[in-house]
Copies of this chain bind each other. A is one copy, B any other.
Amino acid sequence: MINNIALTGCGNVGTALLELLHEKKDELKEKYGYEYKVVLITDLMKGAIMNPEGLDLEEVLAAIKRDRSFNSFAQAGGSFGELLDASGATVLAECTPTNLKTGEPGYSHIKKALSRGINVTTSNKGPLAVAFDELTKLAGECGASFSYEGVVMSGTPLIDMIKNGLAGCSVLKVEGILNGTTNYILTKMGTGMTYADALAEATSLGYAEADPSGDVEGWDAAVKVSILTKIIFGLDVPVSDVTRIGITLVTPQHMEEAKRRGCVIKLIAGIRFDALGIHLYVMPKEIPVDHPLAAISGATNAVTIETDNLGEVTLTGAGAGRRETGQALLSDMIRMSR
């Protein structure tokens, strides 16, 4: 069966997905029996293009590079639902920008696709943050798959590991480094740099945004740990209930003291159970240098999952990146096609 792909949001990640699909067309068919056409692409800035017979990806990628828009194509008109119907899409890759308050526009896109029995993969944290249960239930009712490998650790397959690799295990505790920007800053501070200098360097490298508060105050990691809690335990813990301490007050003196105790300081996001129930936290913690999380340097992410059957399992890899997140969407699409 040919997979008819619709893509919403053709920014960095959506474009990376198109590049991977184009570059790996033969490899995907040979290794996974995965065949596809891209039948619909919609983007708020670039426009909407559709071809039920399959868009020419070479042409599309050239236009993105040349014009940063789809102005050179005939524009497809109609509501998003009408476009889905007319395109014959069987799978949606949802890559619009994240809105953690409303989940839009991803939330509506995903709902429209799932309700038509169209499989969905998304890298967008917004819809998961606002409507995880509703979308999961809708997928079940409509016989569609709903996957979201890209929302935590981009394409490093943490969510697949939780759902499939660790099948049969109970998760007892989760601890990890889920924000690459702050880990980069702390790694630099470990070499003696001040917080301000390390932040400036992270900003100049494009790791930190102009307003870095989402990263350095721990909000990004808090959202991820809240989503992981839902995925692993089925429990709702809003981001506002995550104990959250950022890295803005960490000094070179703290780094030195930790070092004397044989530790390094990392911004640790965690989920644990205690007498009071579940506890989610994001905070700078001292980690012994011989712990796997201590060796995670730069913009890398890592998560240690403590299980009943296996003890601790740690997965380390890229936590961000356009190609890495495109890979998350691609791997979801291959798995959903099986």
Contact = CB atoms under 8 A, between A and B. Distances in A.
Given A157-B164, A310-B324, 20 more contacts: A20-B168, A155-B310, A157-B161, A160-B165, A161-B161, A164-B164, A164-B331, A164-B335, A167-B330, A167-B334, A168-B327, A168-B331, A168-B334, A169-B327, A290-B295, A292-B316, A309-B323, A310-B327, A311-B324, A312-B316
Interface of A: 20, 24, 27-28, 32, 154-157, 160-161, 164-170, 289-292, 294-297, 302, 309-318, 323-324, 326-327, 330-331, 334-335
Count this chain's copies in the assembly.
Answer: 2
Q: Which 3 A-B pairs have the closest CB atoms?
A: A157-B165, A309-B327, A313-B317
B318 A156 contact: no
Contacts of A294: 295
A166 B314 CA distance: 16
- Residue of A28, A168, A309, A315 most packed against chain B (CB within 10 A): A168
B310 A326 contact: no
Given A165-B165, A167-B335, A168-B24, A156 B327 contact: no
Contacts of A166: 157, 331
Contacts of A295: 289-292, 294-295
A156 to B, nearest CB: 6
A312 B323 contact: no
A289 to B, nearest CB: 8
Given A157-B166, A297-B290, A317 B324 contact: no
Contacts of A316: 292, 312-316
B156 A313 contact: yes
9 contacts: A28-B168, A156-B310, A156-B313, A164-B331, A169-B331, A289-B295, A292-B295, A292-B296, A314-B314
Contact of A326 (B292, B309, B324): B309
Contact of A313 (B290, B296, B315, B334): B315
B161 A165 contact: yes
A247 to B, nearest CB: 19
A22 to B, nearest CB: 13
B314 A310 contact: no
Contact of A32 (B167, B291, B311): B167
Contacts of A169: 155, 327, 331
Contact of A20 (B28, B291, B292, B309): B309
